[in-house]
């Protein structure tokens, strides 16, 4: 079973993930092409690029925008979750071993203790996000079962991975559960709100171009964010 889920099933999961994400990007751009009045494509290219980069950087840096600064606790939870969710899987030594043994790909790794703390940070941040969704009325009214389900899918690989690493109970069970939940996450990303993994960059670039060329970007010293 291990050979199957780390071989053909893993390849299938990656295929669905990459094809789905690519389709999202193509459809996003296509929809923009059908509404050319929203974004400037052919004029003021320099300002458009500047606006796009400013928008991306401002929203990717903690407290880089006013929206982040007015919600400091949520901002910390958001960045703790996303930084851990990206860095831990990419540079985990156990994942590097699989890449090296299966496909001959060598990647740098984090010390296990660092990856472990990042994993714990993801889990703690996710719990904080769920609590926030139930405590704050303005967020609770927008919370659906689909959103909670997507969050559960996103966190499951970290919970199962933590259980397997610390050998809680049957480590073989948790290892298989970790791999399968990770593959479920890859498959779910194109079909749920987790697609913001790619659509975030699309929307920030679009908004940055729009503000950079048509909403005061070329007339002011700063750039609206």
- Pick left, alpha or beta for residue 163 (phi over 0 → left; psi -120 to 50 → alpha; otherwise beta): alpha
**Token pair recorded at residue 144:** 């659906």
pTM of the model: 0.81
* Residue of 64 and 78 predicted with greater confidence: 78
Unique residue bearing structure tokens 């950079």 = 212
pLDDT of 220 reads 56
Span 113-139, mean pLDDT?
Answer: 89
Terminal CA-CA length for the chain = 49
Q: Say if CB 18 and CB 190 are below 8 A apart.
A: no
How far is Cα 22 from Cα 148, in angstroms, rounded to an integer?
25
The confidence band for 105, taking pLDDT boundaries of 50, 70 and 90, is confident
Most confidently modeled range among 88-92, 119-123, 163-167: 119-123
Span 146-152, mean pLDDT?
Answer: 89
* Residue of 222 and 198 predicted with greater confidence: 198
> What's the angle, vertex CA 13, arms to CA 11 and CA 17, rounded to 5?
115
């Amino acid at each position: 079973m291990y050979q199957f889920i780390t071989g053909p099933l893993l390849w299938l999961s990656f295929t669905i993930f990459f094809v789905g994400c690519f389709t999202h990007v193509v459809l996003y751009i296509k929809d923009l092409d059908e509404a050319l009045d929203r974004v400037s494509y052919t004029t003021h290219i320099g300002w458009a690029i500047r606006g796009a980069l400013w928008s991306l950087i401002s929203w990717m840096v903690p407290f880089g925008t006013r929206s982040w600064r007015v919600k400091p606790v949520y901002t910390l939870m958001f960045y703790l979750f996303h930084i851990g969710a990206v860095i831990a899987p990419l540079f985990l030594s156990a994942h590097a071993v699989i890449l090296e043994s299966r496909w001959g790909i060598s990647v740098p790794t984090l010390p296990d203790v660092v990856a472990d703390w990042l994993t714990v940070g993801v889990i703690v941040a996710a719990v904080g996000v769920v609590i926030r969704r139930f405590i704050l009325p303005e967020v609770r009214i927008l919370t659906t079962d689909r959103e909670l389900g997507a969050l559960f899918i996103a966190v499951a690989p970290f919970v199962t991975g933590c259980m397997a690493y610390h050998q809680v109970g049957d480590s073989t069970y948790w290892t298989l559960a970790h791999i399968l939940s990770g593959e479920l996450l890859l498959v779910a990303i194109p079909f749920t709100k987790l697609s913001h993994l790619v659509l975030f960059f699309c929307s920030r670039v679009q908004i940055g171009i729009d503000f950079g060329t048509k909403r005061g970007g070329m007339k002011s010293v700063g750039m609206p964010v």
